[in-house]
């Protein structure tokens, strides 16, 4: 996407999805041919909270309509941030990441259509120690009411990834949510 959009256009899309809102951060990239641009393209220098990421993915799963996270019983008014056909295409890709040979196959749930994305990043914990942040964010597409969940784990570096730790944990969490309905 970075090669197609460039940093300026990619940043505009991330802003529409509220990725990088405070306390998160999107870097300013002056030149798309720098190492900093490569780091941005790979997700290494942008900062977003798990809630921001879950809400951004929820917009994709909600046919391109962003709903601000709400902890009350009154959901926010939706804002279209992606065309419906674009959102549907992204959902198909995210479903393929789970149902095919993608890194999300650990999130599969027997008899359910699951879509989502793994993430693995180097990070530091609250003590300053180097850790791996492994994540999976996804949704079960064929159950109502639909939900989006993000599992994020801080693990010792080299011990796990989004594919090996977070996706299977997400699958167990989602299975439990479905069984409680």
Residue 71's CB is within 10 A of a number of other CB atoms, namely 4
Domain that holds residue 53: 49-179
| 13 within a domain of the structure (yes/no) | no
Cα separation, 118 vs 138, in Å, equals 9
Q: Which pLDDT belongs to residue 178? A: 92
| 63 within a domain of the structure (yes/no) | yes
Instruction: Return the SS3 of 83.
Output: coil
| 3 within a domain of the structure (yes/no) | no
| 155 within a domain of the structure (yes/no) | yes
| 31 within a domain of the structure (yes/no) | no
The residue among 140, 135, 173 whose CA lies nearest residue 48 is 135
* Per-residue pLDDT band at 181 (split at 50, 70, 90): low
| 67 within a domain of the structure (yes/no) | yes
Q: Which pLDDT belongs to residue 42? A: 86
pTM for the predicted model, two decimal places: 0.91
The DSSP symbol for 63 reads T
Kind and range of the H or E run holding 86: helix 84-99
CB contact set of 48 (below 8 Å; sequence gap of 6+): 19, 20, 24, 56
Instruction: Return the SS3 of 19.
Output: coil
Cα separation, 104 vs 119, in Å, equals 9
Kind and range of the H or E run holding 60: helix 50-61
| 83 within a domain of the structure (yes/no) | yes
Main-chain phi, psi angles of 176, to 5 degrees: -65, -40
- The 10s digit of each residue's pLDDT in 90-111 is 999 999 999 999 999 999 999 9
* Per-residue pLDDT band at 158 (split at 50, 70, 90): confident
Question: Which CATH number does the domain housing residue 93 bear?
Answer: 3.40.710.10
**Position 132 pLDDT exceeds 70:** yes
| 28 within a domain of the structure (yes/no) | no
Q: What percent of the chain has pLDDT over 90?
A: 76
Number of domains forming the structure of the chain: 1
């Amino acid at each position: 996407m970075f090669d197609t959009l460039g940093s300026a256009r990619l940043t505009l899309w991330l802003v529409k999805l509220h990725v990088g809102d405070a306390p998160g951060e999107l870097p300013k990239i002056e030149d798309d041919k720098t190492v900093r641009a490569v780091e941005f393209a790979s997700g290494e220098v942008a900062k977003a909270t798990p809630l921001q990421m879950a809400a951004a993915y929820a917009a994709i799963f909600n046919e391109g309509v962003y709903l601000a996270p709400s902890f009350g019983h009154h959901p926010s008014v939706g804002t279209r941030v992606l065309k419906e056909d674009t959102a549907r295409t992204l959902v198909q890709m995210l479903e393929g990441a789970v149902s095919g040979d993608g890194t999300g196959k650990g999130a599969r749930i027997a008899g359910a259509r699951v879509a989502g994305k793994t993430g693995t990043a180097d990070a530091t914990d609250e003590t300053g120690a180097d850790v791996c942040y492994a994540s999976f964010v996804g949704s079960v597409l064929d159950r109502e009411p639909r939900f989006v969940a993000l599992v994020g784990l801080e693990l010792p570096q080299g011990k796990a990834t989004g594919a090996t730790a977070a996706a299977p944990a997400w699958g167990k969490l989602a299975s439990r949510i479905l069984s409680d309905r």
